[in-house]
Structure 1
Amino acid sequence: MRPRAFGWIDYEMSSAPDWDVVRVLRLGHRLGYRVVWPEGRSVLSVVDQVRNACVDVVILPSPDHLGPLELNRVMGVADVETVLPRLSFARWAVFGLGQ
């Protein structure tokens, strides 16, 4: 069973959402993930949807599909990969827990 990734596209930002879906799926497959998508329109924030999906990584078509504050919040719970430019953002490490 492959690990799961959360595919995220900001449809207001995307000029070709169908193509973005294909690109996210391709990158997910190449990295060894099974991509899951949000279920329709949700009132939950992106980070809450990611947390509820129990995924290790979020895959975006490009970094501008999340605002800087959203990206920061998502990186608190998951890694982030972008298709173009090809970037990887590791989730924030939490030091000092349990001390």
Structure 2
Amino acid sequence: MEGGVRRLILKNCQLDQAGEVSYQALNAITSAMLNVKERDIKVVRPLYSVEVTETETAKFETEISEEDLHATWKLKGEMIHPSAVRSNERG
């Protein structure tokens, strides 16, 4: 009996992709579960309070354990509009 190896490669798996993965060729069927765990993201360096005089520039800096994250800055619970802030991300 001759056959061939079949592969399915799922890159950049996301939480909503967890579930059953199956392969079917005619009446031959096989399946397995894909379990995707949430990343354990940690604050490596926390934000520190800043005091400035009116019209001065305030600078906040933090470091997290992951590089490829979409994150937002908020002021008083409201998302800060990108034009109001200069933000950079360094690895």
Q: TM-score, normalised by structure 2?
A: 0.22
Q: Which has the higher contact order (CA 8 A, sep 6+)?
A: 1
Which of the pair is proportionally richer in helix?
1
Which of the pair is proportionally richer in strand?
2
